[in-house]
Copies of this chain bind each other. A is one copy, B any other.
């Protein structure tokens, strides 16, 4: 992160947390230059960035002030979920599809979408890399680049981990058709029908759908909206149910946005190692951090090879390219064989194109821009929630990713809100699709990964009005 970026981030935090309030004057350029020992141009850049996010306004000849439009944020949810302790068979997939399919309509405001806006990605540049590498395609690569995948691409992925201090051998990496395939292959490699698997509560609905498809039972474990899965509860569940795997997201969990602290990740891996439970780690949001550096994956703390780490380029670089990977530790060979008998290999031209893009550079620059956009979008989105949603609403403030988890006042039914919102041309992801038991009846996952405009503002206003009316009608209030 550049100097001006960290300065801007620090000030943005002060504004959002209320230390600086609407109308407050910011320190002058000269003051900051002197106090922080940075150049005037650094301070200017930081102020410009904050102005672009709508957080501060310049007044001629009087300096910069916190913008009046800056709205209060809804309070954060702060207690862990309390799912039942039973292992349950999953029967949710059709429900999930019914909800998702109804939202896959053009021209709906995509607050329920699982994807960020495709306009945030360097698709043209990727296209040039793909076109250039396809013209140099060695015909024999179509035969040689079978599972585990193209060697150059695997090397580029390994190099990125290495730059973060994480040693993953190129040979351990299996290229897959997006992270979803990676996760599924890992799950298939360590389970058989009837086995139980630990998941977060709430958890990404695709995890539940995979469990259902493979006839596995789900054990939902209490999860904190800021710090992730509860380790004590996790250990109790392991002792009680003897699960064959644990599937979770350590960084910017979908849907909560929780970020597990490093020490907790270390303890998680130690705990699972002790009980010999493989960890299927979904780290697709790890690159979308707003802080100073990429949060480590649980894989970084793995000594015995029990972490089956999965990620992809779909959320941070190349949506629609469907390139993901698994680094499955001691299960690498089993996962590669699962891949060989299910989809054989991933398209060779696509693998070559991505390898070419990563080699030529530009990825880190794109990521910096993407993170800034998402952070700025979160700011305005969260403020709009605070402004339009009724009292009693809580909303997470994730330090990365592009989802907010919103707890509406008790009694508000997210599935009803989903239906009403849809009739107003707005999609939302209702809480019950994130739980095998269809809990989280009053919760929504909202996507702020789309460019903020008048249409977004109107959509959040409409949603807030719908929720408010529902809360009033049902007699629901702040809890």
A215–B193 CB distance below 8 A: yes
A106–B137 CB distance below 8 A: no
Chain A, 102-146, contact with B by CB distance < 8 Å: what is the 0/1 string? 001010000001010011010110010011001101011111111
B341–A206 CB distance below 8 A: yes
- List A residues 85-114 near B (Cβ within 8 Å): 93, 97, 104, 106, 113
Any B CB within 8 A of the CB of A231: no
- List A residues 305-325 near B (Cβ within 8 Å): 319-323
Total identical chains:
2
Partner of A93, one of B124, B130, B178, B341: B341
A140 CB contacts on chain B under 8 angstroms: 118
**In the complex where A177-B177, A321-B348 touch, is A131 in contact with B135 (Cβ < 8 A)?**
yes
Q: Which of A118, A119, A178, A321 has the most CB atoms of chain B within a 10 A radius of its CB? A: A118
A188 CB contacts on chain B under 8 angstroms: 213
Any B CB within 8 A of the CB of A337: yes
Give Cα distance in the complex from A346 to B104, angstroms.
Answer: 17
Among residues of B, the one whose C-beta sits closest to the C-beta of A127 is B134
Any B CB within 8 A of the CB of A201: no
A147 to B: closest C-beta gap in Å: 10
Range for the number of chain A residues in contact with chain B: 35 or more
Any B CB within 8 A of the CB of A11: no
A213–B341 CB distance below 8 A: yes
Give Cα distance in the complex from A349 to B133, angstroms.
Answer: 14
Partner of A349, one of B124, B127, B193, B340: B127
A341 CB contacts on chain B under 8 angstroms: 93, 180, 184, 206, 209-210, 213
A32 to B: closest C-beta gap in Å: 39
A345 CB contacts on chain B under 8 angstroms: 178, 320, 322
Chain A, 207-226, contact with B by CB distance < 8 Å: what is the 0/1 string? 00110010100000000000
Any B CB within 8 A of the CB of A338: yes
Give Cα distance in the complex from A60 to B93, angstroms.
Answer: 75
A127–B137 CB distance below 8 A: yes
**In the complex where A131-B130, A143-B115, A144-B106 touch, is A344 in contact with B178 (Cβ < 8 A)?**
yes
B215–A319 CB distance below 8 A: no
Any B CB within 8 A of the CB of A160: no
A338 CB contacts on chain B under 8 angstroms: 213
Can you give 16 contacting A-B residue pairs, CB < 8 Å? A93-B337, A118-B139, A123-B137, A127-B349, A130-B134, A130-B349, A143-B319, A178-B344, A193-B215, A206-B341, A209-B341, A213-B342, A322-B343, A322-B345, A342-B342, A349-B350
